[in-house]
Amino acid sequence: MTSSLLAVTFGANERGIILFGFEIYYYAICIVCGMLLAAALSALLMKRRNMSVDLIFLLFIVCIPTAIIGARLFSCLTDPNLGIGRFFQFRDGGLSITGGVIGGVLAGFVVCLIKKVNFLRAADCVVINILIAQSLGRWGNFFNAEVYGGVVTNPALQWFPLAVPISPDPNTFGVGSFSDPASTWHYAFFFYESVINLIGWAILFTLAWKTNKKPNGVLTCLYFVWYGTVRSVMEPLRDPEFILNAGGIPWSLVFSILMVGLGIAAILVLFIFNFRKEKAFIGSRVGDPCGITEYMTPYKDEKPYYSKINMFGDKYPPAPTKEELKKEREQLRTERERLREERGKSGSLAEDKEAKEEKETKGGKDGESGTNGEDK
């Protein structure tokens, strides 16, 4: 019913849905769903690492707009088809994931600095989940018919999702290209990157969930190494139309290579600093290996609780080993035997004392009886 207050139309040749006369692109829906999922997973990790879950909501409110601004700014500066003059024309398209990551991380650093939270510890909970947001977000490229590779000439490989049909009609997008006989099959790079990012997220999230030793920040650096490597390999294989090439320089490729190099260098620096401080590359030989929460209250000079709750919410030192438990049981058994012997000795002494007292009492009564007999 066209006069309905809520008019929602779905079309195979459309890039989105229409709510109240306003078009919402499928690309935006994929991005938002990825953001929400990343925020939920980050909150889950923060809770496991004994950090305030409220922090993720503050980071979400601050970092998401900043990431969007960074993504748009990077795209406008590196895409010759846009330019800085079209910065505010968001609906015309043009968002760079690289710029979004840079903007979001910088905003997160400022938030942690103001709230006096260990930035690297918080980043290990948040940054790795950007991969799953990117994995979902890449499907927005499918609906926009973008981020694909060269033409697939082998008919045996012309099937989705290995390849994707691209229509020459500028008004045909996404699923609409499948029904267009003029469509040409291209390598679906958006799908490849989506799957690889999903695998990377699964690996890093598992490490974050199961590992509990210092130094903080290694997982964050591994994200940059992983994503930078993926982009460095995929960027040159894209269709030239989707390579940000301002001034003849492929800026996305340049920044991707920088991500890999700086990520590896940062990991080495973190291990070296941890070894100097803790006498171990991973964990600690002189203190808490798990990284005690530094700020339990908003006060700057607050000391950690004496119960030594680490970032995973577990007690430190960790649970004893089987050998330690066996030794402890033997010590308890020895202690019980010693106490039993002491009780036995004290019991014998008490019995001797009672017998002596009873004998003395009996002897006293016999003496009194003899005296009374003489009086008679």
pLDDT tens digits, 125-142: 999 999 999 899 888 888
Question: Is 353 inside any structural domain?
Answer: no
pLDDT exceeds 70 at position 210:
yes
Question: Is 151 inside any structural domain?
Answer: yes
DSSP letter at 90 equals: G
pLDDT exceeds 70 at position 364:
no
Q: Rounded CA gap, 289 and 287, in Å?
A: 6
> What SS3 class is residue 292?
strand
Question: Is 87 inside any structural domain?
Answer: yes
Amino acid at 4: S
In sequence order, the 6+-apart residues with CB closer than 8 A to the CB of 249 are none
CA 312 to chain centroid, in Å, comes to 13
pLDDT value at residue 41? 93
- Name the residue with tokens 């895409």: 79
Other C-beta atoms closer than 10 Å to the C-beta of 263 total 20
CA atoms within 13 A on the CB side of 13: 8
pLDDT exceeds 50 at position 59:
yes
Q: What radius of gyration do the chain's Cα atoms show?
A: 35
Tell me the CA distances in angstroms from 3 to 17, 24, 330, one per residue in order.
Answer: 17, 19, 83
Q: Which residue has the higher pLDDT, 31 or 206?
A: 206
In sequence order, the 6+-apart residues with CB closer than 8 A to the CB of 282 are 213, 214, 215, 271, 274
Interhelix angle 97-115/130-137, rounded to 10 degrees, is 150
Show the domain range for 126: 27-278
Q: DSSP H helical segments within the chain, as ranges?
A: 26-48, 54-78, 97-115, 119-126, 130-137, 139-143, 189-210, 218-234, 251-278, 322-375
Q: Rounded CA gap, 54 and 43, in Å?
A: 8
**pLDDT for 88-126, tens place per residue?**
666 666 677 778 888 888 898 888 888 878 888 888 999
Contact at 8 Å (CB) between 107 and 123? no
Query: For all residues of the chain together, what is the average pLDDT?
Result: 75
pTM beyond 0.85, yes or no: no
Question: Is 286 inside any structural domain?
Answer: no
pLDDT value at residue 242? 59
Question: Is 101 inside any structural domain?
Answer: yes
pLDDT value at residue 170? 67
Q: Rounded CA gap, 82 and 187, in Å?
A: 26
Question: Is 367 inside any structural domain?
Answer: no
> What SS3 class is residue 305?
coil
pLDDT value at residue 316? 43
Q: Rounded CA gap, 20 and 7, in Å?
A: 6
Question: Is 315 inside any structural domain?
Answer: no
Contact at 8 Å (CB) between 189 and 238? yes
Other C-beta atoms closer than 10 Å to the C-beta of 319 total 8
DSSP 141-197: HHHTT-S--SB---GGG--TTTEEEE-SSTT--GGGGGG-TT-EEEE-HHHHHHHHH
Look at the alpha carbons of 157, 159, 161, 166 in this order and tell me if their dihedral is positive or negative: positive
Q: How many domains does the chain have?
A: 1
Percent of the chain with pLDDT over 90: 14
The most confident of the ranges 191-205, 304-318, 359-373 is 191-205
CA atoms within 13 A on the CB side of 193: 31
Question: Is 317 inside any structural domain?
Answer: no
